[in-house]
Amino acid sequence: MIKMTKSDNKRQRLETVLSGGKPDRVPVALWRHWQGDDQDAEAMAAVHLQWQRDYDWDLLKVGPASSYSVDDWGIKTEWTGDIEGTRDVLYRPAKTAAYWEKLRPLDPSKGMLAVQIEALRLIGEGLRGETPFTMTIFSPLTQVQRLAGEEGTLIHMRQHPELLHLGLKTATESTIRFIEAAKKTGISGIFYAVQHARYALLSHDEFNVFARPYDLQVLAAASDLWCNMVHIHGNNIAFEWASDYPAHFINWHDRETGLSLKKGLTHIKGAASGGIDHWSLHQESPEATLTEAKDAVEQVDGRRLLLGTGCVAMATTPIRNIRALREFV
């Protein structure tokens, strides 16, 4: 178990970063999927609490299965060995655009959403207020894509936009209900995953019509929390489409996209989260990770940064690499 050696507690350290000040040390956090364990509340809570005991991260980002928000709408998934912990989709229920007319908001006290709420409750109890923790929330457009597939979503978007909007409205309402329930468990914020700010997928106009309005509704529902993070997912991202979203941290694949932390920070109001390529972290030795960590801190002079990866750490990441990054700070 790694012990803190400085006097600042985790929230103070993060708030110093968010204010633009220089903390006692750069805060650090890694997160990952927990394949299999993410299907059961007690197991999910247990692995997250052990992860925190082992490394004493400054922020615990809860990593549920990427399908959790739509499981109760009939999607079928299975983990078959993907090293990121991602589940394969076996069945998508949104075969036609007419599906969106029948969709109804989910009850966070039932089904897979209730499993997540119970896991959050257990995690909050286990952390005892010592570590901020956030819940992963997928954007309404991402949820719709889970149900229809990428191609199906684009077809519905361009052939039946009025029906797709019905689905997006339902997903938004369902997500806001879940966030309200999650707040009662003591979460410090949400980790909001935006997966459609990509030039190769949507036009700017399409993003502004089918993504941004719903994203802003969800983020407004979390605006009373103090540690919200927006994750702009992908390699060919349109960073500027979402970098102005109201959040405390912006997280992106800074090493893979070529958009450095230093340059990215000129476009955002809060702080950045990143600096480490999750594939560098996945190498046999920690040398590449430590080189990136040193460079990341130097880029920003140790300010406005939560050191970590641009996306999830692989489930097969060498433990010594994880430990080396934690010890680096």
Amino acid at 288: A
Q: Distance between CA atoms of 215 and 246, rounded to whole angstroms?
A: 10
What are the φ/ψ torsions at residue 12 (nearest 5 degrees)? -60, -40
DSSP assignment letter at 48? H
Of residues 190 and 236, more confidence is placed in 190
Q: pLDDT-based confidence at 1, cuts 50/70/90?
A: low
Q: pLDDT-based confidence at 4, cuts 50/70/90?
A: very low
Task: Map out the domains of the chain as residue ranges.
Answer: 27-328
Pairing of strands 76-78, 88-91: antiparallel
Percent of the chain scoring above 70 in pLDDT: 98
The pTM score is: 0.96
SS (H, E, C) 203-268: CHHHHHHHCHHHHHHHHHHCCCCCCCEEEECCCCECHHHHCCCCCCEEEECHHHHCCCHHHHHCCC
Tokens read off for 290: 């430590």
Per-residue pLDDT tens digits for 210-228: 999 999 999 999 999 999 9
Tokens read off for 160: 């039946």
Partners of 252 in the beta sheet? 232
- How is the chain split among helix, strand and coil, in percent rounded to 5? 45, 15, 40
Q: How far is CA 324 from the centre of its chain?
A: 23
CATH of domain 27-328: 3.20.20.210
Q: Distance between CA atoms of 217 and 220, rounded to whole angstroms?
A: 5
